[in-house]
Structure 1
């Protein structure tokens, strides 16, 4: 289980949406009329009429790559009654699908309560999310037991990891 819910985002944490590699996102079982962009994009996620909705059943599997290494501190998952309930987070796991998602232990599991319908932040197991290049979010079920899951907002908060840009290094010339 995740650590206790935060009452506010820690002051040193930033919204990580600017560091997401948007062209690399994959979202399995999304309704193509209600895609991940509605919940994840800063410009859409605060509009409660826009949402991410699952398609064939209540499960959603989302792969989010980052442009640089980050440390994930907390996240907000907000939605209506059909909001996700059991959310499993996987750090740096690629090529996951519904057929193998249960083959790997999650880095953290969060069981959302009805309090989260209002967008209450959840603090993750911070030590498990120190060098994150990608995050996979598996929404296993929803609050109401409905056929589909609806998410109005997914916001990720943390910090970037200072790394050396290897492209910027110059070859040392012999003297």
Structure 2
């Protein structure tokens, strides 16, 4: 099976022979079936010397379906480069496992690192941006039992405390088992058109325990313009 982007579909149509490295040996294979969905395509193949037909593997098809559902739509980017790190805050985090472990690029992809709650299961995360952004979707991952469950998002609510978490959120949702593994949650896009900051309230976790762990937070969307929020604040100060 080959996995390549749709841009290569025309060049790698059924019947075309290509060379691949398989089990440390170069082999010529012939593509027998093409299944395309979303951004990716699956190519089922067999050695050219084989005349046997290809049987569809149910497990592979299921895996592909799950994978394609986790693909971020075209035009949306990871907004990590637009986070104002000097203003990021997380209430009720334990010192040895801070928000940087789940939010910063490089840290959040390390399986040995995570964000962890301290006194109880709740977390309140404040993320300001250096530019005004539109939020489309979010990826929030964690362990099966200690991973987050109920999530509330607040757009442009500056420096909230736990006393404010019962205010009407911009959006709220429950994290599913698939979301914990990386499937994005699509947000109410109309509510996140001009976002300068985002507050994430983690209300509870999957197992109902006192400790919540987040392994990764990724926010996807687009920038509204090139206005730098730090420069804007400097102008307002004068």
User: TM-score normalised to the size of structure 2?
Assistant: 0.65
Name the CA distance, whole Å, in 2 between partners of 1:61 and 1:112. Answer: 16
Question: How far has the Cα of 1:165 moved from its partner?
Answer: 6.6
Runs of at least 5 residues in structure 1 that lack an aligned partner in the other structure:
1-5, 169-175
Aligned residue in 2 for 1:172? none
Aligned residue in 2 for 1:20? 83
After superposing on structure 2, the runs of 4+ consecutive aligned residues of structure 1 that deviate more than 6 Å are 165-168
Aligned residue in 1 for 2:162? 98
Question: How far has the Cα of 1:119 moved from its partner?
Answer: 1.0
Matched, 1:107 2:170: yes
> Which of 75, 97, 102 lines up with 1:39 in the alignment?
102
Report the aligned-residue RMSD.
1.8
> Which of 67, 70, 73 lines up with 1:7 in the alignment?
70
Aligned residue in 2 for 1:72? 135
* Contact 1:53 1:151 (C-alpha < 8 Å) held by counterparts: yes
Larger RCO (alpha carbons 8 Å, 6+ apart)? 1
> Which of 55, 58, 65 lines up with 2:121 in the alignment?
58
Question: How far has the Cα of 1:127 moved from its partner?
Answer: 0.4
Max radius of gyration: which structure?
2
Runs of at least 5 residues in structure 2 that lack an aligned partner in the other structure:
1-68, 232-238
* Post-superposition CA distance 1:102-124 (Å, at most 9, x none): 1x200000111111221111110
Question: How far has the Cα of 1:146 moved from its partner?
Answer: 1.5
Question: How far has the Cα of 1:62 moved from its partner?
Answer: 0.4
Question: How far has the Cα of 1:166 moved from its partner?
Answer: 10
What secondary structure sits across from 1:99 in the alignment? helix
User: TM-score normalised to the size of structure 1?
Assistant: 0.88
Name the CA distance, whole Å, in 1 between partners of 2:151 and 2:214. Answer: 12
Question: How far has the Cα of 1:163 moved from its partner?
Answer: 4.8
What secondary structure sits across from 1:115 in the alignment? helix
* Contact 1:78 1:119 (C-alpha < 8 Å) held by counterparts: yes
Question: Which residues in structure 2 correspond to 1:96-135 (within 5 Å)?
Answer: 96-102=160-166, 104-135=167-198
| Number of corresponding residues | 162
> Which of 124, 149, 156 lines up with 1:85 in the alignment?
149
Distance of aligned partners of 1:117 and 1:69 in 2 relative to their CA distance in 1, 3 Å threshold: same
